[in-house]
Amino acid sequence: MSRTGTSYELYKQMPDILKPDLYIMKNITKIQLGQNGPLVSKLGLGCMRMSSIWGGPTPDETESIATIHEALDRGINFLNTGDFYGAGHNEMLVGKAIKGRRDDAFISVKFGAIFHNGQWLGLDLRPIAIKNFINYSLTRLGIETIDLYQPSRMDDSVPVEDIIGTVADLVREGKVRHIGVSEITADQLRKANSVHPISALEIGYSLAERGIESDLLPAAKELGIAVVAFANTAEGLLSGEMKAPLAENDYRNHFSRFQGKHLIHNLEKVEVLKQLASNKGYTPTQVAIAWVNAQGGHIMPLVSMSRRSRLPENMAAMDIVFTPEEIHTLNTTFATGAIQGGTYLQR
C-alpha cells in the first residue's frame, strides 16, 4: 500500500489485527550524523511526552513502551530523551523499552537542565556536574555507553570549551560515542566543533519557528553537522486542532504566542496550512512534519509521541512531496516573523 493521504485514511478504517504489516519501513530513509558519524533513521522518536511535562500527568507507561517497541520494529531507531524529563522517569522508561534490544536503538540524551517541582531553575554545565549526570543516566538507561550526549542548552556560566571538553573526556572513557549540542548559537556551534567534532545539533524548527535559518542552519550545513529538529508543530499550534482561548490549565498559556490577540492572529495563519493539507489528503500535522523533512537531507524531524496509533500518521508524513507552488504558499504564509509572540524556545 502506498503511503498517501487516501491510503492513510483506509489504514485508519482497518481492523487493528491487519494494521501491523502496513506502513512498516524496512528500508527507512537514513541520515548521517556528522561527517563521519553513524547512519540513523531520518525520522526520530522524541520520548519526552512519555513522562510528565510541566507538572502534567504521566502517560500510560505500558503504551509508551509499546510505542518504542513498534517504532524500533518499523526501523525508527533514533530515540531522544533527557535526564531531566520526568526527573529521570523518561530514562528509566526508555531503559525498560530497550532491554534486550540495545543494538536496535540509537540513544540520544540531553543533560544540564535543572527543574524543581516542575519549574525551570536554570542550567548546571560544570564539568563536575556533567561527570555526575552521565553515571546516573547510564544507570537509569541500563546501558554502558550513550550514543549521543549533549548539553540541553548553553549559557555563559561555563565556557563552551570546558563543556565539550568534558564530554570529549567521556568519549575517551567509553561512556559516550558521539557528541551533540542543543539550542545554541552559530558562534557556539563553531566553537564547540573546534573542540571536538559535533555530530548533531538539536534545535526547535518548524513553519512557525524559522529564525535559525539566517545563521545557525547554514553553519551546521557548512560544518557537516546533522540537524535534529524538534517542535515541528510548534507546541500544537500547527496541528490544526488548537482553538482560542486555551483552557485555563493549559501550560502553553505561559507563553505569549498562545495568548490573546497573538493566538487569534497565529491561528488565522494556520487556516492556510489546514486548507493546503486538506487539498493534499493529509493532516496539518503531517504537512508540518513534511515541511521540516523537505528542508534537507541533513535534517531529521524529531516527533514526540506516546501512543502507537500516532506512528503510521507520522511515518506517512515522511513521504509527502510538495509542488513548488505549495512550498511557496507555506514559506510566504509562515515567513520569519509571521507568527507573533514567543515560547519557551526564547526562554
Residues serving a catalytic function are 85
What is the spatial distance between Cα 197 and Cα 35, in angstroms, rounded to a whole number?
A: 9
Instruction: Answer yes or no: are the C-beta atoms of 130 and 137 closer than 8 Å.
Output: no
Angle between helical axes of 160-173 and 186-195 (0-180°, round to 10): 40
The string of DSSP codes covering 22-38 is SS--TT--EEE-SSS--
DSSP state of 44: E
What is the spatial distance between Cα 101 and Cα 94, in angstroms, rounded to a whole number?
A: 11
C-alpha cell read off for 211: 529564525
Largest CA distance in the chain: 55
The DSSP element (H or E) to which 220 belongs, if any, is helix 216-223
The string of DSSP codes covering 161-219 is HHHHHHHHHHHHHTSEEEEEEES--HHHHHHHHHHS-EEEEEEE-BTTB-GGGTTHHHH
Q: Whose CA is closest to 256, among 233, 240, 231, 237?
A: 237
Instruction: Answer yes or no: are the C-beta atoms of 74 and 28 closer than 8 Å.
Output: yes
Instruction: Answer yes or no: are the C-beta atoms of 209 and 183 closer than 8 Å.
Output: no
Q: Whose CA is closest to 169, among 123, 125, 201, 131?
A: 131
What is the spatial distance between Cα 19 and Cα 12, in angstroms, rounded to a whole number?
A: 9
Strands 119-123 and 146-151: unpaired
